[in-house]
Amino acid sequence: MLWRVDPAKPDREVIRKASGILRSGGLVAFPTETVYGLGADTFNAEAVKKIFLAKGRPQDNPLIIHVNNRQMARELTIGINRQAERLMDIFWPGPLTIILPRGEKVPAEVCAGLASIAIRMPAHQVALDLISYAQLPVAAPSANVSGRPSPTTAMHVYEDLGGQIEAILDGGPAGMGVESTVLDLTSPVPVILRPGGVTVSQLEKEIGEVRIDPHIETATFNGDSGEKVNFQPRSPGMKYKHYAPRAPLFLVEGDGRRVTAKVRELVALKQAEGLRVGVLAYNETAGYYSQNEVLTVGSIWSAEQVASRLYSTLRRFDELGVDVIIAEGLEPQGFGLAVMNRLRRASGGKVIRV
Ligand code: TXA
Ligand code: MG
């Protein structure tokens, strides 16, 4: 059930078998350029229900539909506007998901009953070939158990979902490491519902003003259910705690030297409580915490590098069995905003600004 495929030139026989599974209502996990997805036939409501079951995903959190050409995207919606055409020209295939009015052929379950639909064309040959052989738009959330860090390797998928799904296509590590940018085009001014690989300034260069949904960072979470309190989000996914390792994670953000001082202070505090503390740090700062369980996610100057290692590092803390994680933030600019958004969400609101 774990099938290896060449990410650049996928074996046809493997893709044919996997697409057959999708066509007959089964689930297949596959690599994309962002993270691994868990795919099903968009038009098969029963198959789509299996995705929610396998992930333990709340029913009200809609899926992203993956296509391999524009025509397929058109058939999923009742209105592709000029902005959408422009964005597809520039950013597809790639890490941009656009939200448009939902077409009638799409079962309500896929979009959690919303009148809108999220669509993207992934920039990964395995994903594109799979869609092309299946001749179906493929509904696919990230292939993790709901709430856990998204999978960036086939092994992560196996850890979370092995035994529950028909096949996993192993195309090596997903390159980018964080999920696509989600952009809502159904309102007069487009709104970013999730920052990702395509940045705010890249979008504004093409279509003018873009808003960032204020709910992205600021809600309070219910510590038990992980659900946010008093909160009416535009994207149901914002409502839930996400990307989180098992140990509670505290995020320290702000001015560099103050951050390291604060992290050390928190580490000492937690250790005094008898806890095993993990520190998430950068190449440049790891030396400050040498007496602890330190994992480095790359250079503080390279959000790209940090993104590609973030989720596997969060999973590694679980393997190490630490009781609590103290994480350093980085500059939330450009692609760094996507990384910080995931860290803030992983912290479930436990953010300390210094
Ligand atoms: O990079 C990605 O986007 C990956 C790969 C597999 O393509 N997929 C992914 O899917 O991250 P998922 O399900 O983990 O995240 C989808 C997000 C959720 O936050 C969901 O609430 C939002 O997109 N979403 C989907 N449809 C929506 C809609 N119609 N309106 C608002 N938000 C929507
Ligand atoms: Mg996800």
Q: Residue whose CA is closest, atom 20 of ligand 1?
A: 237
Nearest to 295 by CA among 247, 258, 331: 247
- Which residues, in sequence order, are CB contacts of 130 under 8 Å at separation 6+? 15, 18, 19, 22, 28, 30, 39, 138, 169
CA-angle at 120, arms to 339 and 191, nearest 5°: 60
Yes or no: say if 133 and 125 are a contact pair by the CB < 8 Å rule. Answer: no
Yes or no: say if 354 and 253 are a contact pair by the CB < 8 Å rule. Answer: yes
Return the SS3 of 54.
helix
Render pLDDT for 44-96 as a digit per residue (tens, 0 to 9).
999 999 999 999 999 999 999 999 999 999 999 998 899 999 999 999 999 99
Per-residue pLDDT at 221: 47
CA distance 202 to 217: 21
Render pLDDT for 149-192 as a digit per residue (tens, 0 to 9).
999 999 999 999 999 999 999 999 999 999 999 999 999 999 99
CA distance 30 to 172: 10
- Which residues, in sequence order, are CB contacts of 238 under 8 Å at separation 6+? 193, 194, 213, 215, 216, 219, 228, 231
CA distance 60 to 146: 13
**How much distance in Å is there from the Cα of 63 to the middle of ligand 1?**
5
CA distance 277 to 51: 35
Q: Residue whose CA is closest, atom 15 of ligand 1?
A: 141
Yes or no: say if 244 and 348 are a contact pair by the CB < 8 Å rule. Answer: yes
Q: Is the pLDDT of residue 217 over 80?
A: no
Which ligand gives the minimal distance to the CA of 97?
1
Yes or no: say if 196 and 178 are a contact pair by the CB < 8 Å rule. Answer: yes
Which atom of ligand 1 is the closest one to the Cα of 178? 1
Q: Residue whose CA is closest, atom 12 of ligand 1?
A: 141
**Amino acid in the structure at residue 307:** A
CA distance 183 to 252: 28
Which atom of ligand 1 is the closest one to the Cα of 114? 29
Which atom of ligand 1 is the closest one to the Cα of 57? 13
Which atom of ligand 1 is the closest one to the Cα of 38? 6
DSSP 153: S
What pLDDT band is residue 218 in, cutting at 50, 70 and 90? low
Q: Is the pLDDT of residue 229 over 60?
A: no
Residue 206 φ then ψ, to 5°:
-90, -40
Per-residue pLDDT at 235: 75
**How much distance in Å is there from the Cα of 314 to the middle of ligand 2?**
15
- Which residues, in sequence order, are CB contacts of 270 under 8 Å at separation 6+? 277, 323, 324, 326
Which protein residues have their CB within 5 A of the ion that is ligand 2?
A: 142
Render pLDDT for 109-149 as a digit per residue (tens, 0 to 9).
999 999 999 999 999 999 999 999 999 999 999 999 999 99
Q: Percentage of the chain surpassing pLDDT 90?
A: 88
Which ligand gives the minimal distance to the CA of 307?
1
pTM: 0.95
* Residues in contact with ligand 1 (CB, 6 Å cut-off): 32, 34-35, 37, 61-64, 95, 97, 99, 111, 114, 116-118, 122, 140-142, 179-180, 182, 193-194, 235-237
CA distance 281 to 194: 24
Q: Residue whose CA is closest, atom 3 of ligand 1?
A: 180
